[in-house]
Amino acid sequence: MNKFAETTRQIFEGWEEFYKKPTDEKNRFFESDGRLMDIIFAQQFDRPFLDRMSRLGDMIRLLAKTKLGQNHLRHLLPHKRAMLYFSQPSTRTFLSFQNACYMLGLTVSEIRGTTTSSEVKGESQEDTIRTFASYVDMIISRHPEAGFAEKTAWVLNQTDRAIPVINGGSGPDQHPTQALLDIYTLEREFSKSGGLDGKKIAMVGDLKRGRTVRSLSYLMKNYQDVALYFVAPKIYKMKDDITSFLTRHQIPYHETEDFKSIMPLVDAIYMTRIQNEYSEDPSHETETYPAFHFKKEHLENIQAHCVLLHPLPRRYEIDVAVDKDPRAAYWRQERNGMWIRAALIAYLFRVENEIEDVFS
């Protein structure tokens, strides 16, 4: 279907001022009764929350192994409805949220791409969101624009349908639930070596436009003695907002283009792909940056306990031959997203006690 009307641009008084504020000042706006209500930025998560979500994720994982446990989970939220509004492509975030909802008994509606919504008639994004809020109890969004989920929550919180909004990825900016599942994965992978505290983590690839590494970097403020190694081609190096944040929080970071030199030093390597979708003309960006790929022969260079992560999808960054090595944790990481997102939804609808009580 051809788009036949330009999107209506509505002016919301106060939005520009709000958007410019430091995150610390905005967090309260996305809380209710001292609890998180909207999940917009990774900076909203503190250590007790991260630890609790990881424990809850483990409990849901265990319950889901049996029919009895699955029944318990399914009867927690059958009275709630969720909207998956994904106007930017996604496989994992969409499916893991959808299945997390099913697991907890929620009914799910979806719009994948704006061509099937009344946005083609020129309806504004904000009116579109208000419409979703008329029908459902929670919105999970994926959008190409930075700040989209934040504006959605900001608009809805001023209406009589202030329902939870979860940011499932907003442009090259933030992907807080990916950061949550990355933390969950790291804590699980390091469960026999004291957890994430004290670990050295390399982030490799397009760090400038990779929202996953940006969100994960913010979460490092919650862990003791962590050090980061940013490994990227010059044009895709980590942006100043993140490095300033790390400096402010006294988290050491090192920047290099020499991937091989840091391989033996680190406890985890987080690979990312080049985010061509944010290029002015992606067809011009054909360089794959092989110096920033992890190849089978590199398995000899890393420590015996080193964990290999990737938010996926991958292209050339990790050889498929690496997948068989037990240190390749990215397929486990992907599945962890479903458990931790179920934990998050249970928390947002305040039924987490009904899961925790099973284990007390």
- Residues marked active site are found at 92-93, 121, 142, 175
**Could you tell me the maximum CA-CA distance found in the chain, to the nearest angstrom?**
58
User: Among residues 200 and 273, whose Cβ is nearest to ligand CP?
Assistant: 273
Binding site for ligand CP (CB under 6 A): 90-93, 169, 178, 311-313
For residue 138, the minimal CB distance to ligand CP (Å) is 18
Look at strands 200-204 and 268-271 and give their pairing.
parallel
For residue 342, the minimal CB distance to ligand CP (Å) is 16
User: Among residues 78 and 313, whose Cβ is nearest to ligand CP?
Assistant: 313
For residue 234, the minimal CB distance to ligand CP (Å) is 25
For residue 279, the minimal CB distance to ligand CP (Å) is 17
Cβ neighbourhood burial of 32 (10 Å; 0-12, 13-18, 19+): middle
Spatial distance between the Cα atoms of 28 and 23, rounded to a whole number of angstroms: 9
Residue 345's contacts (CB-CB under 8 Å, 6 or more residues apart) are: 77, 82, 97, 100, 101, 104, 106, 138
* DSSP letter (8 states) at residue 328: B
User: Among residues 92 and 151, whose Cβ is nearest to ligand CP?
Assistant: 92
Place of tokens 């002015």: 280
> Number of C-alpha atoms within 13 angstroms, CB side, residue 44?
26
For residue 22, the SS3 value is coil
User: Among residues 80 and 211, whose Cβ is nearest to ligand CP?
Assistant: 211
Phi then psi dihedrals of residue 188, to 5 deg: -70, -45
For residue 316, the minimal CB distance to ligand CP (Å) is 17
User: Among residues 144 and 195, whose Cβ is nearest to ligand CP?
Assistant: 144
Phi then psi dihedrals of residue 303, to 5 deg: -70, 160
User: Among residues 243 and 272, whose Cβ is nearest to ligand CP?
Assistant: 272
Other CB atoms within a 10 A radius of the CB of residue 337 amount to 26
For residue 335, the minimal CB distance to ligand CP (Å) is 12
For residue 33, the minimal CB distance to ligand CP (Å) is 30
In Å, what is the CA distance from 327 to each residue of 40, 132, 180, 306? 31, 42, 20, 6
For residue 38, the minimal CB distance to ligand CP (Å) is 19
Amino acid occupying residue 183: I
Strand blocks (E) in the chain: 31-32, 35-36, 81-86, 107-112, 138-143, 165-170, 200-204, 227-231, 253-256, 268-271, 307-309
Spatial distance between the Cα atoms of 352 and 345, rounded to a whole number of angstroms: 9
User: Among residues 59 and 149, whose Cβ is nearest to ligand CP?
Assistant: 149
User: Among residues 54 and 178, whose Cβ is nearest to ligand CP?
Assistant: 178
**Contact present, 205 and 317 (Cβ < 8 Å):** yes
> Quick one: tokens of 215?
């969100």
Compute the Cα dihedral for 319, 322, 324, 328 and give only its sign.
negative
Place of tokens 């996953």: 212
